[in-house]
Structure 1
């Protein structure tokens, strides 16, 4: 999201400089290609580094920024503790998750989050990318002076309807042309994405209809993963396509007929918004901001319910193609109206202006 924001604001009124806690990676190189100065503090992952703190202090002292926005818990803690003593009073935090407990966090990250909750009145404002994220952090004890909700943005040029994508995807999958329905789930293989429920729902669907194929993509989504080899029944394997981590997911998503999210927890699910931008209607679990994002352009089901997920997929698959396409068109319009990246970038720019000018402003999605 930070990279998308930098792209969308590079011609704007603010000059951005980025400090990364760890070493530079591929995303940093893309930032540098935009002309953004990026500095590495060299803090090893999962460790506390006094040297990194000294580097940050030296960088802030040299640049004298008017405003510092930190992203994620460790940076939030570093920013609020070290920037203020140097006279940088305008510090914004940015929350990107909605996990209500520490189960999905390392021990150090859980500790840092608890410290951030205690220090949350110090930053000028706390930005959350979802209403669910704001509410879960309130429950954790966050009490900032001001909450601001700014959703993630989607690049609607990169993710857009492509009439030829379905044919290319079917050819790549080895699926013969015909009246088949392609159902996708894009998510890395971690427990919170609940692939077990999705596969059970898919199996229920395949017992009813033989013309549906399931396309799954994400890190760890391969046949070499014993979970999939063990869970998917042999008689159904020909109708499951496991793509693994796919760099150009924008070539896959517009080729789907239906996109799904089976998550147990979410903040702002990017893949749902990307599918909508491609004109693909969605079936999602009622977690995080998923229902708020989809609105009336898709179906929402309870989490951890393979029966409900299967029923919703079948209901959407039974729609005439033209009716499903019309639903996808409405989804595309909704994504462009509410989550298009240039509009989200304007929300951030306006926030920066008003924080620097000392006026109040709130942003949200309906």
Structure 2
């Protein structure tokens, strides 16, 4: 009897393992396919400019639409929930997105109420006095916005003379348990679980033999299941890349009319070609004006940003090709554990440390190409967009959000698979192409970027979405030139 019971339990266990394995592959295989064969680029969708249509049904990026630059007849009262607000140069992509977008909306006359966390009020919150921006602060709880306090602050403001026309949540700034009560809410996703699985696979493949196997992939699948369950609680979803828009519709099963693609944008008045700023930056950091080909890296110098990968590639290339080592210069902007290792490589490598936001544009203008070896496919990275608006080509890991929206072909940059061999091949190609080809690619990247990735284009698209959410009469689109 005991043997039969044990045999039965073994059978059940194996059966469950097979089911889990099949379920895992059912998620991973489509993910890999979409990662390497991303959706149609955001500017390739064609529509009849003379035929009005419902904006909520538009399947591609709103950035390609022409919205009027005139101030709208209605001024909106907007509530923003964001985990943190940028403080000086300490800000991630989501925080910079929140600042760029909502400051632009405030400048267009809308009333912005920002519900965010802060350990103590700092001078950064007072920089926006007189800009229609009002901050409602609370202390963070376990690294997140205090939902109870922020919700009470929101309800109090909502009971004033004019209730909020629209509510905006940067990712899960407002939890779904509160969001489900708000039909006039839009959430912008800056990274979702399904999108991150590709990065987990890459990390596992790059794991060295002496490292223990990570449980990230298994845990991520559970997170995706949870997200599929609670994402429908949010009324409207803004995908910051074409790839994420496709995932929200196909995998998360959000109805098409509730998913809107608005690509990230950066301030085009800051990120632009600036030879004078480049010369000043080079003088400040002691970078000689020479014939060396200058490659740039920026951001947190940590593992998941791909620094072990590019470190190993450069180490091998320096050893096997002294000419490459002597004829390129590499500028590394940022801080983290890999900074010292880059210094130890020798050669023409300059580790500049963390730069403040005012210096970043000058950094881009000081290089010939920007390297972005990220191992995480989480949202549409703004550093890639910043570099392109500064007329610089980008060499980037082949992840779907970036290759499906920004670096869509060899005419604007380079891509590589996340292996040392593939990265070396791409770096040698950059070196062989030289400055003339890089300049040509950078110019093409900027021309395309100015049509899609400016803060002006992004803010105009969000403004129209918010107007539409607050009043259906603003959902009808007709091409505008004013």
Q: Give the TM interval when normalised to the shorter protein.
A: 0.7 to 0.9
CA distance in 2, matches of 1:67, 1:73: 16
* Matching of residues 57-96 of structure 1 within 5 Å: 57-62=155-160, 64-77=163-176, 79-81=178-180, 84=181, 88-96=182-190
Candidates 43, 47, 55, aligned match of 2:153 = 55
**Secondary structure at 2:237 match in 1:** strand
Q: 1:298 and 2:388 equivalent?
A: no
Check whether the contact 1:53–1:78 (CA below 8 A) recurs between aligned residues. no
**Superposed CA RMSD:** 3.2
**Secondary structure at 1:309 match in 2:** helix
**Secondary structure at 2:353 match in 1:** coil
Check whether the contact 1:120–1:142 (CA below 8 A) recurs between aligned residues. no
Check whether the contact 1:99–1:133 (CA below 8 A) recurs between aligned residues. no
Check whether the contact 1:215–1:240 (CA below 8 A) recurs between aligned residues. yes
Using the TM superposition, give the Cα deviation of residue 112 of structure 1 relative to its aligned residue in structure 2, in angstroms.
Answer: 9.2
Check whether the contact 1:76–1:116 (CA below 8 A) recurs between aligned residues. no
Using the TM superposition, give the Cα deviation of residue 140 of structure 1 relative to its aligned residue in structure 2, in angstroms.
Answer: 6.9
Hey, what does 2:438 align to over in structure 1? 324
Higher mean alpha-carbon deviation, 257-266 vs 197-206, is at 197-206
Runs of 4+ in 1 over 6 A off after TM superposition: 102-105, 109-114
Hey, what does 2:264 align to over in structure 1? 152
Check whether the contact 2:107–2:131 (CA below 8 A) recurs between aligned residues. no
Hey, what does 1:261 align to over in structure 2? 372
Q: TM-score, normalised by structure 1?
A: 0.82
**Against the structure 1 CA distance between its residues 228 and 182, is the aligned structure 2 distance closer, same or farther, given a 3 Å change threshold?**
same
Gaps of 5+ in 1: none
CA distance in 2, matches of 1:124, 1:331: 34
Candidates 32, 37, 42, aligned match of 2:139 = 42
Higher mean alpha-carbon deviation, 316-325 vs 48-57, is at 48-57
Check whether the contact 2:266–2:455 (CA below 8 A) recurs between aligned residues. yes
Using the TM superposition, give the Cα deviation of residue 80 of structure 1 relative to its aligned residue in structure 2, in angstroms.
Answer: 0.6
Hey, what does 2:101 align to over in structure 1? 5
Higher mean alpha-carbon deviation, 91-100 vs 48-57, is at 48-57
Deviations along 1:119-158, one digit per CA (max 9) or x if unpaired, are 3323321112123334555677463561111111111220
Check whether the contact 1:92–1:125 (CA below 8 A) recurs between aligned residues. yes
Bigger Cα Rg: 2
Deviations along 1:9-54, one digit per CA (max 9) or x if unpaired, are 2343632221114455565444446341111133424366644443
CA distance in 2, matches of 1:283, 1:309: 9
